[in-house]
Chains A and B, each alone.
Chain A
């Protein structure tokens, strides 16, 4: 896989939120306004970059038995660091993201990239992968935040857009509106990338296939 492809992979083809379906919780929770979507995206990108670099550097020194604990410790370290920095230099962002900032630790995107990519590839590729995934995550959150803010509050990045013209639909700011927006965006992305369900996916892979078949008989 070429270097450029590693970078662009995370943006659309393997977008962490819209295609891989990772990191759903922060994606839904912080995207009530576009600005906190960007903030969350940048914070996550930073953690992703740090953990990918460190893990790709030390991957050969870590014994298999403690691989995951070591990764988690490194990731948690970067997250706490980002937490301190945001708290000190961007208190408003800290307030907007709330509990979801420390919860980046358990964001599956980061551990997934550490495990799938950084622990098997060189440092340069891991940096590109982290940047690509980070940009993809940030763009997805920014898109969701924009849609929800525009329709739900009539503003965009804090600027009044349609607030005066149309009554904002507050539903889009609520959690249910988040799911709704996410579903529509995923559908649009699948349409644009012509993604089809894989042939391998079928009832036989599902643990409740037997029970399901009995019911339908």
Chain B
């Protein structure tokens, strides 16, 4: 019975081990993935960020109108819209929520996910950087030697690519708003 102990027994043992481990995993998965809190495929975290940017409870208007825009939100009083935009930064994707007020100016923005260089590109998350964009209504341009025109902002020192990626997100939201502002009436 050499065949049994050499080939069949090890195979069976391995199969049993795998089976037990998989069952344990199914159990854990069911325990931990009960309530994802997802509405229309939008996670809780994104909804919270959108509500924060809009200043009141966000409502999902549309999902993936374009490749870069994953979700479109508005508030219940039709005062502003928010766009969940994904752009490519220096270290990977930058996910952000951009709020545009009814008059077509940037209301607020928030970075929800980024993998930029710590303390250089990651500063796109800061109020100091994002604050520059609030109130802008035309396509924003990043400059390195001090913003002069109303549609210009200062790049972060040592992080031009991250700054440009964030700005692209803002501009994407602005042009999407132009096309979709009918939703607010």
Contacts and interface: CB of A to CB of B under 8 A. Distances in A.
A105 interface: no
A88 B32 contact: yes
B10 A80 contact: no
Given A73-B18, A81-B25, A170-B119, A62 B32 contact: no
Contact of B32 (A84, A153, A173): A84
B93 to A, nearest CB: 13
Interface in A64-95: 65-66, 69-70, 73-74, 76-77, 80-81, 84-85, 87-89, 91, 95
B2 interface: no
Please classify the interface of chain A as helix (H, G, I), strand (E, B), loop, or mixed, using the class held by over half of its residues: helix
Nearest to B113: A95
A62 to B, nearest CB: 6
A63 B25 contact: no
Given A70-B13, A70-B17, A88 B119 contact: no
A32 interface: yes
Of the four ranges (under 10, 10 to 19, 20 to 34, 35 or more), the interface on chain A belongs to: 20 to 34
B32 A77 contact: no
Nearest to A85: B32
B5 interface: yes
B33 A84 contact: yes
A106 B113 CA distance: 27
Contacts of A58: 17
A70 B17 CA distance: 7
Interface string B21-42: 1101100110111000000000
A176 to B, nearest CB: 13
B26 to A, nearest CB: 11
Interface residues of B, number: 23
B148 to A, nearest CB: 29
A91 B113 CA distance: 13
B144 interface: no
A88 B13 contact: no
Given A88-B33, A173-B119, A77 B5 contact: no
A150 to B, nearest CB: 14
Contacts of B5: 63
A61 interface: yes
Contact of B21 (A32, A77, A88, A91): A77
A63 B10 contact: yes
Nearest to A173: B118
Contacts of A85: 28, 32
Given A65-B6, A173-B119, A77 B13 contact: no
Contacts of A69: 14
A153 B120 CA distance: 12
Contacts of B6: 65
B33 A77 contact: no
Interface string A140-157: 000000000000010000
Contacts of A32: 118
A61 B13 CA distance: 8
A9 B51 CA distance: 52
Contacts of B29: 84
10 contacts: A65-B10, A66-B14, A70-B14, A74-B17, A84-B25, A84-B33, A87-B32, A88-B33, A153-B118, A170-B120
Given A63-B9, A80-B25, 6 more contacts: A32-B118, A66-B10, A70-B13, A85-B28, A153-B119, A170-B119
